[in-house]
Each structure stands twice: as structure tokens, then as C-alpha cells.
């Protein structure tokens, strides 16, 4: 099986890279073994959220400049800030084509409301997500926190408590909805995705709208768990038109993330529409490097039948999705054995305080400035790395996860396309 480019990993990075390549008539394949980080997606894309002072929290361009000046090996430094506007424009074009409405822009962070009632910086949020333009203030005085009775994956009481303590008049409402009887007997079935499927039915949506309309009056906003599909023409948009007198927003739930899975499915469908071959549920077990080039890869499902391509893109994610593997005293990249940057002493990898900087999150595959991987210190000419598998950035500390995934994906695709 021969392709122009084979991408290993079908998370945000792999899919965006594949869409860009397939959109330019490349014969492109994505092999992806399992769930990506989109399964736990918050509904907001980060570019650079956590910065040293309050002023640069709002001004993304100042924060980015500071970051690339301080860390020359950061993926953003390798891309170069001068290319950001073009790459971000390419990402917006993809989102628009998929009918996924968003808010936010790359000039300034906005602040999404977390289910714990705190505000977190974000670059782009799905339009349905509850957010504020300010870091320390919500745009509403009186809100109703609405949960569906029996739904355990949304901490509505904690959210309301935190909102009250930050000066917002928050009331709690537990909605008793008949259509949930079908899944309500079994708490394992009462999950966000099952509810979203039920809410694609008009009569169920009307029942929810009626319940919300009984609460709406006098509230500036109603806050719901993210249990509705929110692309154009889907349930959330319809519900917004049916609920009168107030605004309606959703907040992330425990995984699975309905918004994340919806975006992921839309990206897979778009990749296939453009002629890409998507091998879901298959794992790349091994890649053969000969004379500084990948010759072929082997996957679990294809056994001895090798897959060949001119170029390969490693988009396998970090530890969470097995793109990196840690032993007791080392960290390695399991498919090609690429060079990995990590600290030699295990005691330095993490601190016990979950909220402090965790060094292991900055470990990853080392690359050249154009994201070619290194093996034995030498570039592998036709193997690129993108997204969370990369070294020299800390997605959690910086709040840069999706930004690095998206921009490195587009940067590498353009490099392969010689654009
Ligand atoms: C739980 C979690 C939640 C996050 N939420 C957010 C958020 O809300 N907003 C944000 O901005 N950032 C978030 N991030 C940061 C995240 O890292 C990036 O946003 C981005 O989604 C990473 O994408 P990726 O494609 O590089 O990797 P991943 O999403 O990890 O995808 C890697 C894919 O590769 C597959 N794979 C791995 N090994 C193989 C193999 N050998 N063969 C074939 N396939 C393989 C995996 O199964 C997976 O599907 C989150 C990260 C995590 C871990």
C-alpha cells in the first residue's frame, strides 16, 4: 500500500494535517489506534493562556513574542510568529467549512467558565461555551445553573457555589425530563453522548426547551452541561432559538466530551470527503528507518503488508495516548525510536503538588526547526513530528495544547506541500 503521506495518529494534529494534505490532492492515509485528547476536550482551544503578568494575559501577540524570545526550541519559535496569521487563517477556513461556529480571536484571550466555576484563558471557544471577555468577572448578574436529573458528570452544586462566592446570583435547577427515562434507570447509560443522541429528536428538544422556558425569566443566562451537539443546524442552535428571554450556554462535562467528539467526527468526515484513507482502530507497531529515511511502517491490522509513503508524520500524542512511553528510568518513542528529550533523574520528572509545573509534560520527540524528527542525533529526512508528541513546550503550564497541535500540523503540511 503506497501513499504520498502517512500520518500516524488521528487526534487534532493528525486530522488537521491530513485535511490540509488531502485538500491539496495528496494521497494521504491516517492510521489511528484509539481515543485522542478530543475525548476530554473542554470546548475551547488554547494558544497561550498562562503568562507571567496580567496585561499579557489579554494580549496574545505580546505573550507569544515573550515566549519565543525566551525559548528558542519551543514549537512556536520553530514555526516563527510571522507565519501565525496565515496558519490561523487556514484553521478558521477548515472550521467554517465544517460549520463549527466559534468565538475568540488570536489577538486576545477570552475566559471560559470551567465546571468548577473558575475562569480560564482560551483562544477560541465553540460558540456554545460559557465565557467572559474578562479574567475576573462574568458578564451576567443572575444565572440559572441547570442540570438534568440523574446526570452525574456535571458538578452543578460546586459550580453554583463558586459563582455565588464570586458575586453572581446563581440558582440551581434539576430538570426532571421524561425522555431521559429511557436511559435514566442505568447510571452507566446516563452519559453525555447518550443524552446528546436523544436530544437530536425534536420532541425531546421541545421538552427540554419547555423546562428551560419555565426557569428563564429574570435570568441573564442559563448554564447547561454540554450534552447537545452544537455544529450548525444541530440541537443546541435549535434550542437557543426556542428558549426565550435569556442567553443559553454549555459547560464541559466529565468525558466523553460531546463537543470534542463532534469536532473529531467532523474532521474525520472532512478528511475522507477529500479522498483521505482513515484506518481507525489500527496501530502502527513499527517503522523501518534505512539510510536516514523511513522505508515503510507495519500496523497491527495489516500484519506483514507494509505501508509505504514518501513522507510520514508522527502525530501520536504524549503519554496519555501512548505516543510516549515511560519506563522506570527512561522515556522512549515506541514506533520509530526517535530521539526523546527528557530529564535523566526520575525524581525531577514530577512534583507531588498537582498544580505545580510538571516537567514530564515538556518531554517529547526532538526535531529540527522544520519538525523533522531526530534519530541518533541525525534528522530523519521524511519523518516529521507534530502536536503533543513534541518536546520543549509544556501544554498545561503554558495553556498552549491545541495551538501547538494545530499550528505544527499546518506548518508541516505546508512544508510537505512546498507551499
Ligand atoms: C485529556 C486531555 C484533554 C485536553 N484538553 C484540551 C482542551 O480542552 N483544549 C486544549 O487546547 N488542549 C487540550 N489538551 C491538550 C492536547 O494535548 C492538545 O490540545 C491536542 O489535542 C493534542 O493533539 P494530538 O493530535 O497531538 O494528540 P492526541 O490527541 O493525543 O492524539 C494522538 C492520537 O494518536 C493515536 N496513536 C498513538 N499511538 C499510535 C500508534 N502507534 N498507531 C496509531 N495511532 C496511535 C492515539 O490513539 C490518538 O488518537 C488536552 C490534553 C489532554 C491529554
Distance 208 CA to ligand 1 centre (A): 33
Q: If you write DSSP's letter for every residue of 101-119 in order, what string do you get?
A: -EE-BTTB-EEEEPTTS-E
Count, in order, helices (H) and strands (E) of the chain: 13, 22
Kindly report the length of the chain.
419
**Pocket of ligand 1 contains residue 7 by CB under 6 Å:** no
> pLDDT at position 58, please?
76
**317: Cβ below 6 Å to ligand 1?**
yes
Q: How many CB atoms lie within 10 A of CB 176?
A: 11
**Residue 186: pLDDT above 80?**
no
Question: Tens of pLDDT along 243-269?
Answer: 988 999 999 999 999 999 999 999 999
**pTM (2 d.p.):** 0.96
What are the structural domains, with CATH classification, of the chain?
Answer: 2-101+261-417 (3.50.50.60), 130-251 (3.40.50)
Residue with cell 496501530: 283
Atom of ligand 1 nearest to the CA of 45: 11
| Atom number of ligand 1 nearest to Cα 387 | 26
Q: Would you say 340 and 316 are in contact if contact means Cβ atoms under 8 Å apart?
A: no
Taking residues 88-98, what's their average pLDDT? 95
Residue 408 and residue 87: Cα distance in Å, rounded? 9
Pick the atom of ligand 1 nearest to 318's CA: 30
Q: Is the CB of 312 under 6 A from ligand 1?
A: no
Mean pLDDT of 35-41: 96
pLDDT tens profile 365-410: 999 999 999 999 999 999 999 999 999 999 999 999 999 999 999 9
Nearest CA to ligand 1 atom 33: 9
Ligand 1, atom nearest to 334 Cα? 41
pLDDT tens figures, 45-63: 999 997 666 666 778 888 8
Does the N-terminal peptide bond of residue 185 adopt cis geometry, omega within 30 degrees of 0? no
Tell me, using a 6 A CB cutoff, whether residue 37 lines ligand 1: yes
CA 195 – CA 96 distance, rounded (Å): 26
- Alpha-carbon separation of residue 80 from 71, 74, 370 (angstroms): 12, 10, 10
Q: Is 18 in the pocket of ligand 1 (CB under 6 A)?
A: no
Taking the centre of ligand 1 as the mean of its atom positions, its distance from the CA of residue 408, in whole angstroms, is 13
Quote the pLDDT of residue 405.
Answer: 98
Q: Where are the alpha helices (DSSP H) in 6-113?
A: 12-22, 54-58, 60-70, 75-79, 84-98
Q: Decide whether any atom of ligand 1 lies within 6 Å of the 9 Cβ.
A: yes
Amino acid at each position: 500500500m503506497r501513499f504520498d503521506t502517512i500520518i500516524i495518529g488521528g487526534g487534532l494534529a493528525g486530522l488537521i494535517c491530513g485535511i490540509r494534505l488531502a485538500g491539496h490532492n495528496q494521497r494521504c492515509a491516517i492510521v489511528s489506534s484509539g481515543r485522542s485528547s478530543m475525548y476530554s476536550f473542554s470546548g475551547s482551544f488554547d494558544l497561550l493562556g498562562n503568562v507571567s503578568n496580567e496585561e499579557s494575559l489579554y494580549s496574545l501577540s505580546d505573550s507569544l513574542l515573550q515566549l519565543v524570545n525566551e525559548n528558542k526550541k519551543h514549537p512556536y519559535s520553530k514555526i516563527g510568529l510571522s507565519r501565525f496569521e496565515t496558519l490561523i487563517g487556514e484553521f478558521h477556513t477548515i472550521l467554517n467549512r465544517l460549520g463549527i461556529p466559534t468565538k475568540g480571536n488570536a489577538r486576545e484571550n477570552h475566559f471560559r467558565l470551567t465546571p468548577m466555576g473558575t475562569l480560564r484563558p482560551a483562544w477560541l471557544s465553540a460558540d456554545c461555551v460559557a465565557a467572559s471577555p474578562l479574567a475576573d468577572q462574568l458578564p451576567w448578574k443572575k444565572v440559572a445553573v441547570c442540570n438534568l436529573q440523574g446526570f452525574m458528570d456535571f458538578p452543578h452544586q460546586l459550580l453554583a457555589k463558586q459563582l455565588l462566592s464570586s458575586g453572581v446570583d446563581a440558582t440551581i435547577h434539576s430538570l426532571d425530563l421524561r425522555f431521559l427515562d429511557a436511559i435514566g434507570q442505568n447510571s452507566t447509560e446516563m452519559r453525555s453522548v447518550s443524552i446528546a443522541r436523544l436530544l437530536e429528536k425534536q420532541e425531546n428538544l421541545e421538552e427540554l426547551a419547555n423546562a428551560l422556558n419555565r426557569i428563564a425569566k429574570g435570568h441573564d443566562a442559563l448554564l447547561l452541561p454540554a450534552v447537545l451537539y452544537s455544529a450548525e443546524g444541530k440541537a443546541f442552535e435549535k434550542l437557543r432559538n426556542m428558549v426565550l428571554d435569556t442567553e443559553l450556554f454549555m459547560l464541559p462535562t466529565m468525558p466523553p466530551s460531546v463537543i470534542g467528539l463532534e469536532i473529531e467526527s467532523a474532521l474525520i468526515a472532512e478528511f475522507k470527503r477529500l479522498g483521505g484513507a482513515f484506518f481507525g482502530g489500527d496501530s502502527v507497531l513499527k517503522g523501518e528507518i534505512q539510510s536516514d529515511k523511513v522505508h515503510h511502517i507495519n500496523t497491527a491490522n495489516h500484519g506483514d503488508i507494509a505501508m509505504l509513503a514518501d513522507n510520514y508524520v508522527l502525530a501520536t500524542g504524549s503519554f496519555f495516548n501512548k505516543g510516549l512511553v515511560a519506563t522506570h528510568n527512561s522515556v522512549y518513542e515506541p514506533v520509530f525510536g526517535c530521539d526523546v528529550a527528557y530529564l535523566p533523574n526520575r525524581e525531577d520528572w514530577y512534583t507531588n503538588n498537582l498544580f505545580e509545573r510538571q516537567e514530564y509534560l515538556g518531554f517529547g520527540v526532538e526535531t529540527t526547526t522544520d519538525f523533522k524528527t531526530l534519530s541518533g542525533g541525525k534528522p530523519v529526512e521524511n519523518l516529521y513530528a507534530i502536536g503533543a508528541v513534541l518536546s520543549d513546550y509544556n501544554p498545561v503550564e503554558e495553556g498552549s495544547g491545541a495551538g501547538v497541535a494545530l499550528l505544527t500540523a499546518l506548518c508541516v503540511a505546508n512544508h510537505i506541500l512546498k507551499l
